[in-house]
Structure 1
Amino acid sequence: MKITARKVIVSAIAVAGGVALLAGCAQAPSTSSGGSTTAKKSDFLPCMISDSGGFDDHSFNELGYNGLQDASKALGVKPKTAESKTDADYAPNISSMVSQNCNLIITVGFNLADATKAAAAQNPDTNFAIIDDNSITADNVQPIIFDTAQAAFLGGYAAASFSKSGVVGTFGGMQIPTVTIFMDGFADGVAYFNKQKNKDVKVVGWNVDSQKGSFTGGFDANDTAQNTAQGIIDQGADVIMPVGGPIYQSAATAIKNSGKSIALIGVDADVYNTDPSVRSILLTSVMKGIQPSVENVVKSAAAGKFSNTPYVGTLKNDGVGLAPFHDFESKVDPGLQGEIDKIKAGIIDGSITVNSPASPKS
């Protein structure tokens, strides 16, 4: 029986772009089909500009950087990179890369969309790729985007299952689609758990229907982020998913300072691996396949196969996923992993649909 969506039954969520790549959306570029990706052209120059989180954010900037390094090593080239401290750095950093004759310039994040669009229009012979944005329509720009609502749905289900207080929470850095898509999926996964288990786990920090919630105003790990996390804790949440690069570090500080048994859910990377300092409180992570997608896009461009068709990461193509429970494996319900696997299969085969207003559209 097909399980329908939020507006009809809260058990699952309507979707569009998720179950597979939609018509017009590309699979991850192949590194094995036709031609070598170990480019003979040693003059191929891939470049990358971070957003304000920097390349050491243990999150999507760092993952993008790692993907660039992986591809560059395979190609035998040395990439160029530039870190942005504020949004005022975006356009100058891109201009600097253009002036250095970069063949492919990758910009990391939705916030660089305007600067990327302008630079692409001014430099039609330079190829660009942008992570987490699908707003640019240009022959020389490839979006790298992710249907993270699918993976966050699994994370929300896991959070609800693990919670002892009956309250879980989420908050974001900025209210932009690439943040709220996580929060939508998380809240809907909790709602699905409630429907399946006849429970009433509450979500604080985000309301799916009103699209209103708690945001820090940026992606920095700072007092604002810590205070926002504390506000979630004060509402009784014992599982928290901060969405926005380094802000999880502030949430971890708030959790540890609280002296309470509160679990953290990471985003973008498997934070258990990227930041061992939070392992003791980390339930799981909602992951984007940023590193392999960047690697593949760079290799494809180096092989003369650049395309402006979006790469869309889904559960089906392993472009998004839920990390293992790691140290929490013995703490979660023994049947939880099996339930997660079943839900994942349902999302992939279409019997469970997952959607967010921010879900990628072809």
Structure 2
Amino acid sequence: MTISTTKKLLGATIAAGVVFALAGCGQAPTESGDNGGGDAASDFLPCMVSDAGGFDDKSFNQLGYEGLMQAGEDLGVEPKTVESKDESEYKGNIDSLIDQNCNLIITVGFLLAPEAATAAKANPDVEFVSIDDMVDTDGDGKTDSENVKPLVYDTAQAAFLAGYSAAAYTKTGKVGTFGGVNIPTVSVFMDGYKQGVEYWNSENSGDVQVIGWDGSDGVFTGGFDANQDAINAAQGIVDQDVDVLFPVGGPIYQSAASVIRDSGKDIALIGADADVFESDPSVGDLLLTSVRKGMDVSVKDVVEAAAKGDFDGSPYVGTLENGGVSIAPFHDFESKVPADLQDQLDTITAGIIDGSIPVKSYLSE
């Protein structure tokens, strides 16, 4: 799948004003228990393959996992899950779940989409959910198989609010961001963040600078691990006098937090995917806010719909309007941001929803 094809397909989807409902919609795999039920739901086996971050990343993969587990609890079934250590394990992990007779297989992440598409075509009786990609690998502008449901999220909309907040908060006039890998589902956060800063500048005659992303390229670690590469990336941005830092890419926020603490400077952190204040309280005191993707809710909904026989391959696009993306509360920073900031964000949110404040991303171009 090409990025340009994804842009065309998703741009057409959003431009048409279509919001698709969720109707119908490593480690060795965990073994399912015998739930003893005789109804259709008890015979339904939902499964999930993680991206390289693993299910305990307190971010992207964990949200998907939590949605799956909640659905399993509600349905009275025990899902199977398998973690991927790197890209070389994606195909084998998907195949292992097919061999274990999974009815629904959820692949967590943009990078798993090609393998998900191949597996879906080869196994038309298995339903697939692809998180963060439209699964168009043949370039025809359509999801490749009817048995694949894409879940995608226009996180630029929520990141716009985070960028505006960062610009309103900064004292140095410089805010930073860096990512794991320069793929659309990472850079979409950075796009929105930069646009939010620029909007604050235009509304307040400001000159806040964004370090780490110029709109097409920037600082990336090359992966999604909290390792020395992530520390080096964060350090390089912190050294440029930023006082807000937005790492995008699962666990790499942990490396950013360690750099912030070691710096001894008053630098705020912005989380991605989950409300990191809640998912990882160890960094709660650093968090200005987080840009949230409602993956847990959308995964839960699509699993429960599939268990009822209502699987629908039409794409779901998470937006501010449908609650698929959002910005987290300021939590401990409530008293540190301008008193009227939340009112401003509410007004901006309404403007994004009604289209009077445009937010560009690979989903809307």
Normalization by structure 1: what TM-score?
Answer: 0.90
Aligned residues: 337
Distance 1:19 1:151, change over 3 A: farther
- The farther-off stretch of 160-169 and 132-141 is 132-141
1:359 aligns with 2:354: no
- Residue 332 of structure 1 aligns with which residue? 337
- Residue 348 of structure 1 aligns with which residue? 353
- Residue 239 of structure 2 aligns with which residue? 234
Q: Is the 8 A contact 1:20 1:348 kept in 2?
A: no
| Whole-angstrom CA distance in 2 between matches of 1:42 and 1:221 | 38
Distance 1:141 1:347, change over 3 A: same
Distance apart, 1:349 and its partner CA: 1.3
1:214 aligns with 2:209: no
The aligned runs of 1:50-65 (5 Å cut-off) are: 50-65=50-65
Q: Is the 8 A contact 1:19 1:350 kept in 2?
A: no
- Residue 17 of structure 2 aligns with which residue? 22
| Whole-angstrom CA distance in 2 between matches of 1:77 and 1:118 | 27
1:313 aligns with 2:318: yes
| Whole-angstrom CA distance in 1 between matches of 2:242 and 2:343 | 25
| Whole-angstrom CA distance in 1 between matches of 2:131 and 2:42 | 25
The aligned runs of 1:219-298 (5 Å cut-off) are: 219-298=224-303
Unaligned runs of 5+ in 2: 1-9, 26-37, 137-142
Q: Is the 8 A contact 1:19 1:348 kept in 2?
A: no
* 2:42 aligned counterpart, secondary structure: coil
Q: Is the 8 A contact 2:114 2:135 kept in 1?
A: no
- Identity over the aligned pairs, expressed in percent? 58
| Whole-angstrom CA distance in 1 between matches of 2:192 and 2:39 | 40
Distance apart, 1:355 and its partner CA: 1.1
Q: Is the 8 A contact 1:27 1:317 kept in 2?
A: no
Distance 1:30 1:112, change over 3 A: closer
Normalization by structure 2: what TM-score?
Answer: 0.89
1:184 aligns with 2:195: no
AA partner of residue 150 (structure 1): Q
| Whole-angstrom CA distance in 1 between matches of 2:12 and 2:287 | 29
The aligned runs of 1:106-121 (5 Å cut-off) are: 106-121=106-121
| Whole-angstrom CA distance in 1 between matches of 2:264 and 2:122 | 54
Q: Is the 8 A contact 1:21 1:314 kept in 2?
A: no
Distance apart, 1:121 and its partner CA: 1.1
Q: What is the RMSD computed on CA atoms of the aligned residues?
A: 1.8
The aligned runs of 1:40-189 (5 Å cut-off) are: 40-136=40-136, 137=143, 138-189=145-196
Could you report, residue by residue, the CA deviation over 1:86-141 in whole angstroms, capped at 9, with x for unpaired residues?
11110001001001111100000001011111111111111000111113321010
- Residue 34 of structure 1 aligns with which residue? none
Distance apart, 1:178 and its partner CA: 0.2
AA partner of residue 145 (structure 1): V
| Whole-angstrom CA distance in 2 between matches of 1:339 and 1:19 | 25
* 1:200 aligned counterpart, secondary structure: coil
- Residue 203 of structure 1 aligns with which residue? 210
AA partner of residue 116 (structure 1): A
Distance apart, 1:16 and its partner CA: 5.2
| Whole-angstrom CA distance in 2 between matches of 1:139 and 1:20 | 23
Distance 1:273 1:30, change over 3 A: farther
Distance apart, 1:70 and its partner CA: 0.6
| Whole-angstrom CA distance in 1 between matches of 2:93 and 2:24 | 29
* 2:261 aligned counterpart, secondary structure: helix
